[in-house]
Amino acid sequence: MKSLKLYGRQDLRFEETSRPSVENADDVVIKVKAAGLCGSDISRYKKLGPYVEGMIFGHEFAGEVVETGSGVSQIQQGDRVAGCPTFRCGKCLSCRKGELSRCENLTVIGARHPGSYAEYVKLPAENVLPLPEQVNFDTAALVEPAAVVAHGFYRTSIQPGAEVAVMGCGSIGLLAVQWAKIFGAKKVYAIDIDNVKLQTAGEVGADVLINSSQRPAHEQVEEHTGGYGVDLAVESAGAPATSAQVLALPKKGGEVVFMGIPYADVTIERFYFERIVRNELRILGSWNAVSSPFPGKEWTSALHYMSTGQINVKPMISHTPALSDGPGTFDDLINGKGNYVKVVFHPEK
């Protein structure tokens, strides 16, 4: 089968490899119809994350079941499904407490297990989620990042009528705009330095678009909120600068949830750090997308809201290349070439 394998720093190869087969009673083999390119894939490609040399890359996907193990009854051949790519150990303290996203040995396919940048992928049955009729494969390929964002929102204390600021309008930020509305936000502020991404944020429901390259984001937010700020600020850019700037967005007693991962040291100016103390902010981190019972309500909720259209990923998907275009696509992304928002590979091309 066709596949994309990661061999080293910026060494992604399009290769033929053997198709996965059923080995265990709970195995499910899936023909991949759509596979999303995640920001964490880019960092792993730059060798900023763990992987096994020569491993099939990728972890966001949807497809059709082609084979199941003898112990699988709830999933049938021909079912349209998405996959939770995450494995937890079930033995560490966090797992025993039901805090699965904090598992000491958490890993995903595409890192230490064969991933979804291939024509076929294999998962245990408990990781496989049937798709609602209304959800197509391209949409379902984004259920993992949608669940990641849902996990972060479930950690907050957001209430209906809240005002929410989303800093960074990549895939996670664009999904955060939509989840904010689902959680009851009356107004959502989208912040970025890229007007194309801001335009997309408007298409998926952001009420106010703020380009922070022109003036500090907090000054613009304060103008819209009578000087108070928002109830909840979401950091989804993962940049060192925005990881500090986001602290100036909430009102006194507000919250910040960090979903982005900065791959450099974060230096916080006194002005921003003092906002934590003086405004008595509640600072939250959010990691991965699983909870108990596995894989968690994040996944079922994401698929539900995809089926209702309240999570709309169509404006986000900018490119649908073949797997053979994978090495060039990654090269473009790390060198700032092309106008990419969300890439979804189509292995059948």
Concatenating the DSSP letter of every residue in 268-280 gives --HHHHHHHHHTT
Mean pLDDT split into 10-residue runs, the chain, 349 residues: 96 97 98 96 86 95 98 97 98 98 97 97 98 98 98 98 98 98 98 96 98 96 98 97 98 97 92 98 98 98 98 96 98 90 96
> Is the Cβ–Cβ distance between 199 and 255 less than 8 Å?
no
Query: Which residues are bridge partners to 257 per DSSP?
Result: 234, 284
> Is the Cβ–Cβ distance between 206 and 166 less than 8 Å?
yes
> Is the Cβ–Cβ distance between 291 and 297 less than 8 Å?
yes
CA atoms within a 13 Å half-sphere pointing along the CA-CB vector of 158: 32
User: Of 312, 333, 307, which is closest to residue 321 (Cα–Cα)?
Assistant: 333
**Residue at 82: amino acid letter:** A
207 φ, ψ to 5°? -90, -35
pTM score of the predicted model: 0.97
pLDDT at 319: 96
User: Of 227, 236, 238, which is closest to residue 177 (Cα–Cα)?
Assistant: 236
Q: Report the alpha-carbon distance of residue 67 to residue 84 in Å, rounded.
A: 18
pLDDT at 264: 87
Name the pairing type of β-strands 187-192 and 107-108.
unpaired
How many Å is the Cα radius of gyration of the chain? 20
At residue 32, the 3 state secondary structure works out as strand
State how far the alpha carbon of 110 is from the alpha carbons of 87, 121, 301, in Å.
11, 10, 24
At residue 132, the 3 state secondary structure works out as coil
121 φ, ψ to 5°? -145, 155
User: Of 251, 247, 212, 245, which is closest to residue 230 (Cα–Cα)?
Assistant: 251
347 φ, ψ to 5°? -60, -20
pLDDT at 51: 83
CB atoms within 10 A of CB 343: 23
pLDDT at 263: 83
**At a CB cut-off of 8 Å and minimum separation 6, what does 163 contact?**
185, 186, 187, 188, 189, 225, 230, 231, 232
At residue 93, the 3 state secondary structure works out as helix
Q: Which residue in this structure is represented by tokens 């990661």?
A: 6
Question: Can you count the helices (H) and strands (E) in the chain?
Answer: 11, 18
Domains with residue ranges and CATH for the chain: 2-142+313-345 (3.90.180.10), 147-285 (3.40.50.720)
Q: Report the alpha-carbon distance of residue 233 to residue 258 in Å, rounded.
A: 9
